[in-house]
Structure formats: C-alpha cells, structure tokens
A and B are shown apart, each in its own frame.
Chain A
C-alpha cells in the first residue's frame, strides 16, 4: 500500500472559485429542471427569481439586508475553521446572542442611542461567545467532540428561545409569543427609509475586512492558521494550540451572537419572536462553504443565497412554485461544492514517494496525536 506519485500538478488558484460557480449553475439547473418537469415555465420562474431579489429598490434592500446575518455567520464558521474547529452550533449561538442582546435592549432603560445599541450588540456578542465557550470548554477539558456538542446545543437554544418568548420575556397583554417592542434607542437606524436595510451593512462589510485582515496580518490570525494547518508544527513552534482553538470557537460564537442580536435589533418587526433566527444558522454555513472559507467571497455568496430566498418568495407568488425549492437548490449546491472540494484538494497537492516500501495504513485517523 505504498503511495504512488502523481505528477506535479500546477495549482490553479482559479479551480476553487470555478467549482463554486459551477456548483451554483448546477444547483440552479436542477431546480429549473424540476420546475420545467412540473409543467411550469422555467424562464418565467427565473425571471420571478430575479425580480424578487432585485426587482425593486425595496426588494434589493431586503435581499442585501437578508445577506448580512448570513455573512456574519459565515465569518463565524470561517474563523473557527481556520483553526480546524467545526462549529455547527452557529444557529444556537445566534439565538443566545439574540436573547442576551434583546435583554440589554429591553432591560437597560435610559441609555441614550447610539450607546444603547452598541451595548446591546456587545452583550449579544458576549452571549454568543459564552455559549460557544461552553462547547469549547467541554472539548478542551473533557474531550467532547465539538461537532456533537454544538449541534445538540442548537436545540437547547431553540427551546430556550421558545420558553423565553412565552414566559419571562413575553410582552404583556399581547397574544402572540413575542417580546416587548425594542426601544428605538437600541435599534439600528434605517439606511434606506422604510426598508429593512440598516446602516449595519457598513458594520458587516467592515467586519469582513477585519476578519480577513486579522487572519492574514495579525499574530493571532497566524496562530489560528498554524493550529489549523498542522497542530504538531504549531505546537513545536510554541503556539498554545489548546487556548487558540478555544478562542477560535468563542470568536466564532461571538460573530454568530452579533448576527442574532442584529437580526432582532434591526429587524422590521422590532420584536424578538420565535424563529427569528430560523435557517440562518445552516444557510450561513452553506455561504461559508460556497465561499471556500474566504472572508471576502462570503459577500457575493451570501448575496446569492439571500437572493435565492427573496426571489423564491416572488416566484411562489407569481407561479405557484413553492419557495422551498430554493432549499433544494442550496442542498445541491452544497453537495456539489463539497464533493468537488475533495477532488480539488487531491489535484492540488503532490506526493513524492521516497520511503518506498514502508507499510502505510490505508486510512489516517483524524485524532490529534499527542505523544
């Protein structure tokens, strides 16, 4: 079972993005094929999809607004993944961040805007970070796989939210399960009047740049990437890989928490209700994977997925095609991207067989080998 050598394949930096674009094309093709198969005209469906996303100023604003939490969640995934931690609990961290942020917005009266908003956002970040920190701690001290713990903690957070909007934080005298109305002092001001788009678009873009800069140009980012690329080499170079990994998870949770807080504090409904974070957690991960874990690429990827969702609504209104079909698109895109990634990875690296003859195991355990 020795390793054969493959020829030195010149890596093309373009393979990755090409695969992503191809994946989107395949996803859309599959969806339109389904639409056509069903008897609906795919051309009109495509038109409706586009109109719904960018047809009018209001719709475009809504699309952009919807992409913002996706970008933040994607950033969260990217930060964690750069240290090779897989955080599937971003949805739960969003929820917790939303809850804590709402608490700060509702129960700290008297703070003037914009300070109130900033405090609420900060509290949201901390909430998400702590929630992720629980999983990080369990991983570091008890060896609990962070994938399992963060995944399950999503559901705990969902129940927490459900309890909170029906119980302690329920707005008095209202029948629906929601919180009291967020005071204006803690809300994101609109960017475009009467639209869902707020000035947090600048914050989010700023954060994208910050995360990208952090990863490449700071010592912290260096430590993250070293830990993710080769734990043993990182340790040998003096990096405290355990702390760094934990911090990666917590920063990741903080970003998700910010997304959650921002959703409530910037939302059109001005309240926190059940399901405010629905599907953003998963979609954000799809965005990150589609962007091949590159922060700047998360922006177009998020816009794409957001426009799918927005456009899906109009497509349904006009043609009766269920909006959930865009979920099918997403699923196909994700599978295509991840299925090709492995092939791309193998084509990128070279292997030269030099030790020839030593018995190599056919598989390599993923566990970090600590001597």
Chain B
C-alpha cells in the first residue's frame, strides 16, 4: 500500500473527499451524538431512549441481534425515518433531518446491506444519480468517473468506474458504494452488515480501508452481529438489545464472553418444564448436506439427526444458512450434496410432495411467503396441504361437508379467533395466521415437524400456544427441528441445541449443560475450547 500512503500525503489530485483536518482539539464535541432517540412502531418499540456518541477518527461497532433496533436507528440517522423523540447533533450542533438529502448534505452516508446500485448502470452513473449536474441536463459522468478514479486510487478501493454494476463481484460493488460515500464527502460513514457478503480476504482489505478513513478524521459506524470482525477493527463497541443500548465498552481488551452475553441477553430465568420424553429412534437424519450458489457456499456439510420425541433446536443469527436448510429439508430446493433420511427412507432430492408424504410438516419462517395465502379464505388455507387426499376429495371433487366440519373443528381446537372459515386470512392477526399454519400442519399428525421462527411477531398468548403445540407433538412421539434466533426460545423448548454460523453447523450441545454465553459465542462464530 505504499502508493496509497504517498498519495494520501496531500499531493494527490486534490479532489475533495470531505476529510476534515486531522487532529481536532481533544475536547471537541463528538462528531455525531444521538441523545434519547425513541421510535415506536405500532406494536413494538424499535428504539427506546437510545444515546450514542461517535468521535472523529473513531470506528464504532454497533452490535446486536436481529430486532435489536440497529436498523431503525440508522434509518433515523440517515434521514429515512423521523424519531418520536430525541436529538441528533453533528459537531455539537443540533440538526434536523427532513429527508435523506439533508443527511447526505450534512455528510452522513450509509452503505446498506442490500446495495442501492442500479445493476444496468455503471458505477460512475450510479454515483451521478440524483446529483446536481454542473451543466444540466448533461450528466457529469465523465468528470465523476475521473474523480472516482482518484478517490479509488487514494484509498486502494479498486473499482473501474465505467464497469457496469451487474458485472462486478459483490466485493467490488461494496467498494463502489464506499466510493460513492467518499465522493459525497461523507464524514459519518455507516456500514450495515458489510461483512455478510465478503470473503475473509476482502474483509481484511475493507478493514484497512476503515482504518485509513478513520485516520483522516472521519467517523465510522459499523453494524454487525459478528464478534470476531468487530473486535478486530472497532475502537469502541455499543451493544443494543430489544431497542435499548445495553452498554458501550472499549474494544481493546474486551471480554468476548461479556459481549456475547450483553448481545443475547441475561441468563434464561424462566424455563418451562420440558416434558420428560425419552428419545426414540432417529426420525430425521441429515448427512453431509451442502448447497452452493455461484457466489458462495450457503450450506457446508450439514449433518445431524433428530429423534422421535426430541426437539433439536438450531440457533444462529438470521442469514447464516437456516432458511436455506429449511428449504432443502422441505424439498423446495435441491441440495448439491448429501442425503436426507426420513425414517430410513433415504433421498438426495426431496420434493415438497414427498416431504409431506413422508410425514413432514413445516411452519415456515415467513408466514406471508410460504405460510398462508393471504387472499384466500381460512378454509382454503387450512386445506392447502391435503385437499387432494381421498379423505377430502372424491375423484377430483372436494367433499364440502367433510371439509367444512374439519375446518370448524380446527378452528375451535386451535383457538383461531375468526368468525368462521369463510373469512379472508389477511384479516386475521399474525397470531391467528400462525395458528392457521399450525392447525394445517399438525392436524395430519406428522412425524417430523420443522418449526422455523415459529413465534416471530406473535404476542405472548400466541407464543405460549405455539409452545404448547410443539410440546404436544413431542409427547406424541414426534420429532421436532426448531430453528430460532431467540436463544430463550431454544432453551425453553429444545433438548439439544446446535448453532449455525456461515452455513455450517458448529456444535450441538445438550440444552441442560449449555450456557447462554457459550451459545452466544458460537452464534458469533467463536469456537470455544472444549
């Protein structure tokens, strides 16, 4: 990086990139200060009295699980969302952000997790989008491209400004996004989960870029749930949980255990009595399942088994392969490698039909994706899986009377709050929709239940109901694979707990012996000794 150093000594092309003067006075106000930020959406408090400080020249890590409130907070800082209460100060001056352009002009920029790059346009064109041109309507693309080249060389962010975005690798696209921020003279740079799409080598390079930018006096906020990366680069670390700031500690010498515990929560206080069921034969065995796309590996050599009468919980932060695992197991996607064995019936390719026929049932993580058909009525949704069986149809004609009485029974049995089965499902609350899915899946007495985030977005009553159903299934000798981002949930229900990280199943621990911090560390990618 010798070249970069030379160019950074002020002899470069002089393109202004917003780097403030080095060595600000030590008592100066922080670059960015958020005080008492509160934001409520109906049903949930996303941010409660959040206060954060970012100093010039600092890299601040923002750590927390999904739903901790990090994204809302950043949306507020970048002007996308307005807070209900609280203040934002830049260099000691309070600012009001009406929209994203205000934030941009004040020097706040963000690289989103899903890039905001138009795929068919070049990098330079993307940067030029929305900018005031010098001589409208002619776009300044050539000039911007030149400026980008300079910035690119200065920071070692190699991207061809004339490359079309869809020809770029993911890492290159991220560099393009960063270049855009620098071109907009951002002083506060926010990165939302930047490493989820990078290879380790690319991450090393990116962390060097962060250090360079920080050394210039900019401030960087770096949102992540991955501990190892955070500790490698951040100066300080703020942990959020459930919409609140749990604490801020310096990264140097930070106790990883402490951080993990801060992130995932206190030791579980309330543990439902897990029904003492003796595990039986293996109901579901997964051997060496792998899945790749052209960019990266989604699942690597996943192997585990679930016994009758057992609940195996798989925890991990969202996006580490859990969704793909469920898709493979239920037959929506074919694994590239490995076998899935239901009660000894061995297969590489499962079709959704086969999954159902082999005794499988699934509560999908996304109700509106695969769970319910919102435009159809309750009856259609309840009958979705087995309307074609001989019990409910006769040579292609549905047996209306049998179906209707079944629906009535299910509605009362599963306590679905609805006036009748004729009602459209999109009028039911989330909890009742989930109960619909449960009713449909459990009524056919499956042997293997895959429950993916089964209580997401549900109120306490609905959550309890779901837990009861899962335990009932367990008592009846069914096997359950529970996939959850909530550690409490896993500890409440599961007999054994496995942790997924980056497409791999790291460890499977006995639930009685595992500790929250141990699991939390695994979730963040840390392999513990023993």
Q: Report B425-476 residues with CB < 8 Å from chain A CB.
A: 426-427, 429-430, 456-457
Known: A218-B398, A236-B330. A353 touches B356 (CB 8 A): no
Q: Does A1 contact B (CB under 8 A)?
A: yes
- CA of A5 to CA of B426 in the docked complex: distance in angstroms? 13
* Binary contact readout B76-119 vs A (1 if CB under 8 angstroms, 0 otherwise): 00001100000000000000000000000000000011100000
Q: Does A200 contact B (CB under 8 A)?
A: no
A5 touches B67 (CB 8 A): no
Contact of A225 among B75, B376, B400, B426 (CB under 8 A): B376
B66, B372, B374: most-surrounded residue (chain A CB, <10 A): B374
A236 touches B352 (CB 8 A): yes
A222 touches B398 (CB 8 A): yes
A5 touches B332 (CB 8 A): no
Contact of B430 among A4, A217, A235, A354 (CB under 8 A): A354
- CB neighbours (8 Å) of A10 from chain B are 427
B384 touches A233 (CB 8 A): yes
- CB neighbours (8 Å) of A219 from chain B are 387-388, 393, 396-398
- CA of A358 to CA of B44 in the docked complex: distance in angstroms? 13
B44, B192, B430: most-surrounded residue (chain A CB, <10 A): B44
- CA of A3 to CA of B480 in the docked complex: distance in angstroms? 33
Known: A219-B396, A232-B370, A236-B330. A5 touches B43 (CB 8 A): yes
- CA of A201 to CA of B483 in the docked complex: distance in angstroms? 57
- CA of A1 to CA of B396 in the docked complex: distance in angstroms? 45
* Binary contact readout A205-237 vs B (1 if CB under 8 angstroms, 0 otherwise): 000000000000111101001100110111111
* Binary contact readout B332-360 vs A (1 if CB under 8 angstroms, 0 otherwise): 11000000000000000001110010000
Q: Does B69 contact A (CB under 8 A)?
A: yes
Q: Does B137 contact A (CB under 8 A)?
A: no
B67 touches A355 (CB 8 A): yes
- CB neighbours (8 Å) of A348 from chain B are 424, 426-427
Known: A349-B424, A359-B75. 20 other contacts (CB 8 A): A2-B41, A4-B41, A5-B42, A8-B427, A222-B388, A232-B332, A232-B369, A235-B332, A236-B330, A236-B332, A236-B370, A237-B384, A237-B385, A238-B351, A238-B352, A357-B41, A357-B47, A358-B71, A371-B324, A371-B333
Q: Does A159 contact B (CB under 8 A)?
A: no
- CA of A226 to CA of B372 in the docked complex: distance in angstroms? 10
Contact of A357 among B67, B353, B398 (CB under 8 A): B67
A359 touches B41 (CB 8 A): no
Known: A233-B372, A348-B424. A356 touches B398 (CB 8 A): no
- CB neighbours (8 Å) of B73 from chain A are 357
B374 touches A229 (CB 8 A): yes
- CA of A356 to CA of B426 in the docked complex: distance in angstroms? 19
A359 touches B385 (CB 8 A): no
* Binary contact readout B384-418 vs A (1 if CB under 8 angstroms, 0 otherwise): 11011000010011101000000000000000000
- CA of A219 to CA of B43 in the docked complex: distance in angstroms? 39
- CA of A83 to CA of B238 in the docked complex: distance in angstroms? 49
Q: Does A190 contact B (CB under 8 A)?
A: no
Q: Does A181 contact B (CB under 8 A)?
A: no
Q: Does A352 contact B (CB under 8 A)?
A: yes
- CA of A360 to CA of B176 in the docked complex: distance in angstroms? 22
Q: Does A11 contact B (CB under 8 A)?
A: yes
A230 touches B383 (CB 8 A): no
What are 28 pairs between A and B in contact, CB < 8 Å? A2-B75, A10-B427, A11-B427, A217-B397, A217-B400, A226-B373, A229-B373, A229-B374, A232-B332, A233-B371, A236-B330, A237-B356, A238-B353, A238-B385, A348-B426, A348-B427, A350-B426, A350-B427, A353-B44, A354-B430, A356-B46, A357-B72, A357-B73, A358-B66, A359-B71, A359-B192, A371-B324, A371-B332
Residues of chain B having any CB pair with chain A under 8 Å: 41-44, 46-47, 66-67, 69-73, 75, 80-81, 112-114, 192, 324, 327, 330, 332-333, 351-353, 356, 362, 364, 369-376, 380, 383-385, 387-388, 393, 396-398, 400, 424, 426-427, 429-430, 456-457
- CB neighbours (8 Å) of B430 from chain A are 352, 354
Shortest distance between the CB of B146 and any CB in chain A (Å): 32
B393 touches A226 (CB 8 A): no
Contact of B426 among A218, A236, A349, A359 (CB under 8 A): A349
B372 touches A230 (CB 8 A): yes
Shortest distance between the CB of B398 and any CB in chain A (Å): 5
- CB neighbours (8 Å) of A371 from chain B are 324, 327, 332-333
Known: A222-B383, A349-B374. A236 touches B362 (CB 8 A): yes
Known: A233-B370, A238-B352, A352-B429. A222 touches B387 (CB 8 A): yes
A353 touches B396 (CB 8 A): no
Known: A230-B372, A348-B424. A2 touches B72 (CB 8 A): yes
Shortest distance between the CB of B121 and any CB in chain A (Å): 17
- CA of A219 to CA of B469 in the docked complex: distance in angstroms? 29
Shortest distance between the CB of B416 and any CB in chain A (Å): 16
Shortest distance between the CB of B83 and any CB in chain A (Å): 12
Shortest distance between the CB of B341 and any CB in chain A (Å): 20
- CB neighbours (8 Å) of B370 from chain A are 230, 232-233, 236
- CA of A11 to CA of B372 in the docked complex: distance in angstroms? 18
Q: Report A1-60 residues with CB < 8 Å from chain B CB.
A: 1-2, 4-5, 8, 10-11
Nearest opposing residue in chain A for B298, CB measure: A371
